Structure 1
Amino acid sequence: MQIGFDISALAEEKTGIGQYRWNLLRELRTQSSEFSILPYGFSFRGYNQLKRVAQDSCFRRNDKKGIEFKIFQIPRRPLIMSWIFCRQPSLDFFIKNADLFHVSDNVQPPTKNPTVSTIHDLSAVLFPQFHSSKNVFVDKWRFKQIAKYASQVICVSENSKNDFLNKYKLDSDRVHVVYNGVDHSKFFPIQDLFKIQQFKTKYQLFDPFILFLGTIEPRKNVLRLVKAYFELKNQQKIIYKLVICGKKGWGYEEIFKFIKEKKLEKDVIFLGYIDESEKNLLINVSDFVVYPSLYEGFGLPVVEALACGKAVITSNNSSLHEVGGEACLYVDAENANDISDKIFELIKNQNLRKDLEKKSIMESNKFSWEKCAKETFEVYKICQKQ
């Protein structure tokens, strides 16, 4: 069986969806001799990046024979619009020898073959105020077409599955929960003090700091986090810096405006997007991680921080309790006072922080990309039997 696997998300910097596609592809290639993976992608601006992905050594087997990639230098936006409104061109026009497709996370393209679609979250539909009008428009169409056309649907949490089934009418037997994973070879507690000191020197991170990881956009609740931090600084309760790591999404201007108004430029440090190879070091040198998102389908930054043995403050909403279990301290994400109170509690209560750190790695061990790939393969087999 030949499975077409969309990697278009890898044309850009790897955020949540990109991490999912990359890690799942890497694990799927080793899962079984019953099927082979045929990765394909569409991008004009990111064409060269997709070609680099295709040449990556992790997709080479021991005999140095690689997976066959099919990369098309085609602008995605017009293609997505054509798939949404015209239901053409068919994927079969581009990929001739696939038996089923694990299609894009952004659109449900037309094909005569069975399809598996992954839903990460329904935030654009449930909370349109957190998204650009373009994303809301595309996702509304996409979810309707997934409900209508997808052979099988993967949701990355029970919360996402419930949201999808509550919003759209389809047989629940078509919808499966397959949790995301974490790469424990990349995210782990670092004992090498020389590496840690090198990293601190490179980014000038010598003061103790609280870390936020994620795209800077309204849904991630960064503005409320900064306001909570400001209250603690204003009351002279903490000496910690706040480090924000992630690429700029949309609607971030108000955050920078607030920081400038409150003269927090020396206290709130923006690192931008850092390479995956350095993220483990960044988490390790932090004191703890705060992730007060307003809605998540899974919450990769939480499980990555837990895998590094860090205490995590996160929200008591959506899927985050599924990921954090008993290893996190939970807050009301819509209450800045609660966020500031929990930050102060974790700073002052060293026993609580140590207790959470002890639980963190055990909780993260529930998730792996190998397990994700095995369970995804089972969905493929269901799809094949249809």
Structure 2
Amino acid sequence: YAQFAPHERLPLVLAGGKGWDYEPIFAAIGKNGLSDSILTPGFIPSDDIALWYNSAEVFLYPSVFEGFGLPVLEAMACGTPVITSNVSSLPEVAEGAGMTLPPHEVDAWVAALKQAYGDASWRSQASTAGLSKAAQFTWEETARRTIESYQRALA
């Protein structure tokens, strides 16, 4: 984000509670003069989260460790284009619907964000694909797959 010229920057929302190792992140925001461009609302209540996703041009999720990737699924269910990491469970959630990238390759993230920012056609396609992919994650399908897993384990 810091590699964008100030006139190229959309506001960035860094949402969520302060997790482990958050101090260097907030220090980097200040050091790079980004405090006016990066909003840090903290934890967003469940009742309000769809409003934030729906207001976003794109949802970035550069996670390194992830159990499932619920924020990615939530964003896709709101029709928000997604750019996320290609590690852990995230490809299962987003592949075919958004961009998946190595989490530590800054240049790849910059290029992806520039593409998303400048390509309304990609954003529209990713929004449609994300809605379709998110619709596949139902409680019924989850239960069916869980039962199948247990049956295979018991066989």
Q: Which has the higher helix share?
A: 2
Instruction: Specify the SS of the correspondent of 1:269.
Output: strand
1:344 aligns with 2:106: no
Change (3 A) 1:251 1:343: same
Q: 1:149-168 to 2 correspondence within 5 Å?
A: none
Point out which structure has higher relative CO (alpha carbons under 8 A, 6+ apart): 2
Name the CA distance, whole Å, in 2 between partners of 1:329 and 1:312. 6
* Alignment match, 1:285: 55
Instruction: Specify the SS of the correspondent of 2:28.
Output: helix
Deviations 1:246-295 (A, max 9, x none): 11111100011111112211111111111111111110111110011123
* Alignment match, 2:83: 313
Change (3 A) 1:270 1:371: same
Instruction: Specify the SS of the correspondent of 1:314.
Output: strand
Report the number of matched residues: 155
Unaligned runs of 5+ in 2: none
1:327 aligns with 2:97: yes
Name the CA distance, whole Å, in 2 between partners of 1:375 and 1:313. 26
Name the CA distance, whole Å, in 2 between partners of 1:377 and 1:356. 31
Change (3 A) 1:333 1:379: closer
2:3 to 197, 216, 231: 231
Change (3 A) 1:258 1:369: same
Name the CA distance, whole Å, in 2 between partners of 1:366 and 1:339. 27
Name the CA distance, whole Å, in 2 between partners of 1:274 and 1:380. 35
**TM-score (ref. length: structure 1):** 0.37
Name the CA distance, whole Å, in 1 between partners of 2:133 and 2:22. 32
1:368 aligns with 2:138: yes
Deviations 1:315-372 (A, max 9, x none): 1222222111211112221111211111011010111111111111111111112332
* Alignment match, 1:243: 13
Larger Rg: 1
Unaligned runs of 5+ in 1: 1-228
Change (3 A) 1:253 1:356: same
8 Å CA contact 1:237, 1:344 repeated in 2 = no
Aligned partner letter, 2:95: G
**TM-score (ref. length: structure 2):** 0.89
Q: 1:170-319 to 2 correspondence within 5 Å?
A: 229-232=1-4, 235-236=5-6, 238-319=8-89
Identity %: 33
